[in-house]
Amino acid sequence: MDSKLVQNKQMAMKRSDLFEKCLKFTKAKEAMAAGLYPYFRVIESAQDPVVYMNGRRMIMVGSNNYLGLTNDPRVKEAAKRAIDKYGTGCAGSRFLNGTLDIHVELEEKLARFMRKEAALIFSTGFQVNLGVISALVGKDDLVIIDKMDHASIIDGCRLSFGETRKFKHNDMNDLERILKTAEARGILIVVDGVFSMEGDIINLPEVVKLARQYGARVMVDDAHGIGVLGATGRGTCEHFGLEKEVDLIMGTYSKSLASIGGFVAGDADIIHYIKHFARSLIFSASPPPASVAAVSAAIDIIEQEPERLERLWKNTRRMLKEFKEMGFEVGPSQTPIIPVIVGENETAFKFAMMLQEEGVFANVAVSPAVPNGRALIRTSYMATHTDEHLDIVCDAFRKVGKALGII
């Protein structure tokens, strides 16, 4: 046999199989076999306060549909009209053939809504953070992020050519420590407005103060703040009265805005630059017409019906009070995202499945997404939950919490 062929065969035998890690991953299958797997559950209805699984009625407290607009007849009708006029897709990117008049109109509406000069829409919220951060942060720049920022922010930092540094969660002293040691270069601070697991709010006034003191720019990912915080639902920046001081505001449609996609809003020159350098915009297919029209209709409803925001906060205040009175630990939550801390990962899996048996759908967060020993049931509320819905939720949590010895 040819010596080179023998050598290649020996090398191939030594080389590990790329798929070996897949075969060794058994945790999920073990949880499935034990009836404790809480992911990829199949829902057979719209994201309303009541959903159906396997034909069974469930109270949904695991959705980000904060204002209850994803199944609103006016939003659905707007989407249908857009399909009738434009079809189901754009067959190209925004950069080339995929910009429709409704894309431009939505960008103008979002800019007005966010009280900024300009806005730019992307096909997903994840792509916004990937595109904006990697476009702005170059090899000589520094991006500073909160340790608990969303995964899309972390991945956007990885795609940039700059240095990334993390500060302790919502710790302004640690943020200043990093800023003090930063050399003279461009600095972007990126923070979540509302943190998606524990529902707490960034100390934005101090972030802005430090940014101005040290010559940094500020970007707020307000995916869970828009439609929730602020006197008119415009988010974390409105909540603190800092809309003019924050340089860039990012938002998604998949929470309060009833669709899928995302946007960034800011000064016109900055948005113009991002428009020409964000790879996730330039090399991705354009947002479909139905999605764009749905978001536009949702914004109109938010502005016309402020009572939705009032109902959302009425439900939020009630559930925070109920959980505390039952004896649950709810962490630092200040928003409709209310975590119930249960301890170990296996306890969280059991808790979620037992809730499901009681007719309640809630989400699970376990390590490494949360610290060890701090596994939680993530609940979130809608303006459209009724008192009767919440009564069922409270009864289920009380029963399961006592059964597992948590309360």
Q: Characterize 199-236 residue by residue with b for buried, 16 or more Cβ atoms within 10 angstroms of its Cβ, and e for exposed.
A: bbbbbbeebbebbeebebbbbbbbbbbbbbbbeebbbb
**ω into residue 287 within 30 of 0, thus cis?**
no
Consecutive H or E run containing 338: strand 337-343
Quick check: 274 and 280 in contact, CB under 8 A? no
Rounded CA-CA distance 283/96 in Å is 10
Residue 121 DSSP SS3: strand
Quick check: 287 and 123 in contact, CB under 8 A? yes
Residue 298 CB: number of other CB atoms within 10 A? Answer: 23
Catalytic residues: 196, 224, 255
Q: Characterize 30-64 residue by residue with b for buried, 16 or more Cβ atoms within 10 angstroms of its Cβ, and e for exposed.
A: ebeeeebbbeeeeeeeebbbbbebeeeebbbbbbb
